[in-house]
Amino acid sequence: MAEFTMELNDEQREVRDWLHGFAADVIRPAAAEWDEREETPWPVIQEAAKVGIYSLDFYAQQYFDPTGLGIPMAMEELFWGDAGIALSIVGTGLAAVGVLANGTEEQIGTWIPQMYGDANDVKVAAFCSSEPDAGSDVASMRTRAVYDEAKDEWVLNGTKTWATNGGIANVHVVVAVVDPDLGSKGHASFIVPPSTPGLSQGQKFKKHGIRASHTAEVVLDNVRIPGSCLLGGKAKLDERLARARERAKAGGGERVKNAAMATFEASRPAVGAMAVGTARAAYEVALDYAMTREQFGRPIIDNQGVAFQLADMRTSIDAARLLVWRASWMAVNGKPFTAAEGSMSKLFASETAKKVTGQAIQILGGNGYTREYPVERMHRDAAIYTIFEGTREIQRLVIARTLSGMPIR
């Protein structure tokens, strides 16, 4: 087990500087254009693939960093560049985490490479969990997966929403209900291979922020997939469902994680790191502006009203990063989140990003409200962090339940 440290080693610093250079030289110059176009920035993803950032190898190296800091460090630097483009680059990672969290070694080796493609033919993947009537309330999920034993196939029907890369993905990871009587404990995750009949893109959403990231509905109409596409395998699923049924008969018992929650618990600190990157970017723009913008014959940072805001912004950013790093280290070293530290990191970092980007606009005044300066876009982007992968209200609910042991509603 690696000791917790706030000091990056030489290799991590080298990777951080490399990512920062890519974010500064490739992502930032393209940010405004793809935000306006509201399209997937395929040329930027391809550039990331060419240098090795958008690849299974790079993702695996950061994911298995024994300090736990590889992923949050990478997320912070890429999202410092631009949140929309960065999400297009890393969005495939959520589907990959879904396979890593629930799949067999064979499934991991088979499907994750197909999620990325290669530098000459980049692919993306989508993780599909939310539904029009089932966002935070995963127990209300309606998408069904029915096993056809005669053909050893699963048949999926339903509609997913808010899916990053939904419909344009090469591989879709879909969470569906296999036993409605068990609520969220009756869910399982499935791989839908490329070009599977019955899967189509529904509505593509026009969003307030992260516009360069494709978000859409995914419609599943009698989608048939091989039995081998059930993540973890049928024997494991049957065993888990049997335990859940026994506990239900006994009136409760040990909590059983469902497939979607296993994925989100593994990814929440990473989302916190994304928020830190966006907040840091806005803070740096505001700091530079405050030191160079003059009013009444002096730089505006010479006024306490501005200087104190910047001091608070930096303090909150550093505190958010420390919470993210702690949770990331705990996760990779198998430390239980006894105080919901993963949710804490995501909650605090997401609210920091919203507050800091708003303060940056205020410091820039009228300029900050225009698209001539990037803080307007950063503020729009920051809003998503308190919503996706568990709203801020859900994070507080998770934390409160964990601390009290009570079924708070």
Name the token pair of 21.
Answer: 């250079």
Q: DSSP letters along 100-148, please?
A: HHH--HHHHHHHHHHHHEETTEE--EEEE--BTTBSS-GGG---EEEEE
DSSP letter at 24 equals: I
Q: In 3D, which of 147, 119, 10, 111 has the Cα closest to residue 54?
A: 119
Strand, helix or coil at 313? helix
User: CB count, 10 Å around CB of 337?
Assistant: 19
Tokens (6 digits) for 8: 């990056």
In the annotation, is 389 catalytic? yes
DSSP code, position 407: -
171: β partners: 125
In sequence order, the 6+-apart residues with CB closer than 8 A to the CB of 273 are 71, 72, 73, 74, 75, 76, 79, 321, 324, 328, 349
Calculate the alpha carbon distances from 54 to 19, 275, 308 in Å.
11, 20, 39
For residue 215, the cross-strand partners are: 164
The half-sphere exposure of 139 on its side-chain side, counting CA atoms within 13 A, is 5
User: Rounded distance, CA 59 to CA 388, Å?
Assistant: 21
Residues 6+ apart with CB under 8 A from 239: none
Task: State the residue for tokens 């958010």.
Answer: 320
The CB-side HSE value for 251 (13 A sphere, CA atoms) comes to 0
Given 131, 265, 376, 389, the catalytic residue: 389
**CA pair distance 142, 161, nearest whole angstrom:** 12
Residue with tokens 């980049």: 122
Active-site residues, by number, are 389
